[in-house]
Structure formats: structure tokens, C-alpha cells
Amino acid sequence: MADQFPAAPPPLPLKIIAGADGFGRPLKDALVAHLKSLGNIDVEDLGTSSYYSIAAEVGRRVSAASGFPEVRGLVACGTGAGVSIFANKFPGVFAATCLSPADAVNARSINNSNVLAVSGISTPPESAIEILDTWLTTPFKAPCPASNLKPWSDEIESFLDNSLIEMPKIGAASASAAAEEKLAPCALCCLAKSRKLDPIEIIPGGAMKIVRESPTSAIVSFKAGSVEPAHHHTFGHDLLVMKGSKRVWNLTKEAKYDLVAGDYLFTPAGDVHRVKYFEDTEFFIKWEGKWDIFFDEEMEAAKVAIDKEAEDGYQLIK
């Protein structure tokens, strides 16, 4: 089907950030393998989590990305709809669910889509690869099925050009307005104040209280100066800092994250990470399944690594 569309120039060098839920994982894995086989695309696979968590993390990273090469996202769930909804919650993200190459051409031509959402249930790998290749190689304002495969008129081209200026303002303006409002006390903070946290015996300075089971959520606190040695879990987890500040080294991704109150971070299952707390810190954490933790280094080794602050090879992501 793709050969019915006008030839497009070769794709620019790209970075693709990918993720899926359980229903979309097999298709995501097939598409990631295809992207890597192309040889000119940097692929970061965030793994598998709930469709809303993984899509939000892909959307957050695409929203935060700037500069060259262009960063786009790839998300998959059962229908492709859920991941599209949650990726689109971030300013500057234009996620589109594409079930055919025609959808992909329209999404790129009209919406300048930078996140592709696909259906793990409805779309076989061969068709998804065709959709992905079409989405990668179709430029903005290209002739598309919506234009009857003809060039857009000058009036429509002007509208599309202006949309690139106007659309990002919508999410950014909403976020700015919300930040300026005097909001009611945070429900999570009130929840933390009403519960006594139990010490985490295996990590000095830490305390935790489970507040809900399946999916499991907890309030966690660490004293200033505390360190979590490198460790990993069998589950991915969402984290929201309520107060304080901390640094997370994701040793698997070779990245580090400086987090303060209000910051969110998703860590995929199996990713090895080390943490340093600069202030008394509290955060909310949520995961699927039972709690587990597997240490990958001793406490003293972690402190030595942090003291050296060996930043070579690490990319700071905010």
C-alpha cells in the first residue's frame, strides 16, 4: 500500500523512544528490532508497564527533548488508543494512532505527528513495519490521502504552518496557568502526614508505608544524605516527589535525573539505579505486584561512586 503514496526524502537521523503495555509488547519489540536494523536511528526502549505509565513517560521525554537529532516516540497497547491519550498529555507531543499506512501519511502531513501509537491486537508485525516506515519518511505537509494525494493549496499550507506555532501554546499555557494558581493542599502530602512510616531496615535513613495493595502504592521518606545502593526490581515503578530533592542514576540507561518536589519519574522493570538524597525527602511510589528489591552493589561502593561523581557517559535528564 505504501507505494501508492508519493516518494518522500530519506528520514533525518532520529532518536526513537519506545514503550508498550503487555498487549503491545510483542509488536513494540518487533518494531524496535526493525528500527535498529535500519542502522541510522538511535532507539531507547523503555520496556513494558501499564499503558498509561509507559505512554506518559514516552510523552514526557519527547516533550522535554530539544535540539538535534529529532526525537520521536513509539508506543503500543492493545488498541493503540490508550497510549495515544496519555502520551498526548504533554506539551508539544502530537501522538496519533495509526492502523494503516494511509493513517500514518495523514498524521505526518497534517498533524506533524511525533509519536506513533500502534495496536498490538489489530496490527500484525508486517503491517506495523509498513506503517512505521511510512510515518518515518513522510514529511510535514506532504501530499496525503486527505488531500487526494495532491499538494495542499497555499491557503491550507499557511494554516498548517501556523498550526505548528499555535498548537504547542495550548498545552504550555495550561501548564503555566496551573502552576500560578493557589491550589488546595496536596492530597498525597495530607496522606503522608496522617500515617506513621515504618523504617526500611535494609537501607539506613529510609522509611515506608504501604497505602494500597494491587496496584501497590506507598509513601516513602529518606533523610538528607541517605544513599540507596545500586539495585533493581522485577516491576517498573512510577514516582512523584512531594518534598525535598534527590538524584537518581539509572545505570542501565546511563542517565541521571535530578528530582525536586513535583517531579515525576518512571523506572522500567530491571533497570539498575542508585539514589542520593540531598534533603529530607518524601515521595509517592506506585508499582504492580509484590514489593521486591535486589541489590547490585554494597553501600560503601555506592558512596565511593557518588563521591567521585563520575559524570562521563551520563546524560542529565530533567
Q: What is the pTM of this model?
A: 0.58
**Distances from the Cα of 258 to the Cαs of 59, 185, 219, 249, in angstroms?**
19, 24, 19, 9
Structure-block grid coordinates of residue 23: 498487549
Q: What is the CA radius of gyration of the chain?
A: 22
Q: Give how far the C-alpha of residue 98 lies from the chain's centroid of Cα atoms, to the nearest Å.
A: 19
Q: Estimate the crossing angle of helix 25-38 against helix 125-137, to 10 degrees.
A: 50
Number of Cβ within 10 Å of residue 226's Cβ equals 19
Q: What is the pLDDT of residue 149?
A: 87
pLDDT in tens, 1-59: 444 544 445 445 579 999 999 999 999 999 999 999 998 899 999 888 889 989 999 99
pLDDT the model gives residue 188: 52
Nearest to 2 by CA among 147, 128, 157, 151: 128
Q: Which residues of the chain have pLDDT under 70?
A: 1-13, 66-69, 171-195, 214, 309-318
Q: Would you state the pLDDT for residue 180?
A: 54
d(C-alpha 84, C-alpha 92), whole Å: 13
Distances (CA, A) of 261 to 43, 93, 135, 219, 312: 30, 24, 37, 14, 27
210, 221 in Cβ contact below 8 A?
Answer: no
Distance from C-alpha of 296 to C-alpha of 303, rounded to nearest angstrom: 13
**pLDDT given for residue 12 in this prediction:** 56
CA distance 290 to 282: 21
- Count Cβ atoms below 10 Å from residue 40 Cβ, excluding itself: 11
Longest dimension (CA), the chain: 68
Output the pLDDT for position 316.
43
User: What pLDDT sits at residue 317?
Assistant: 44
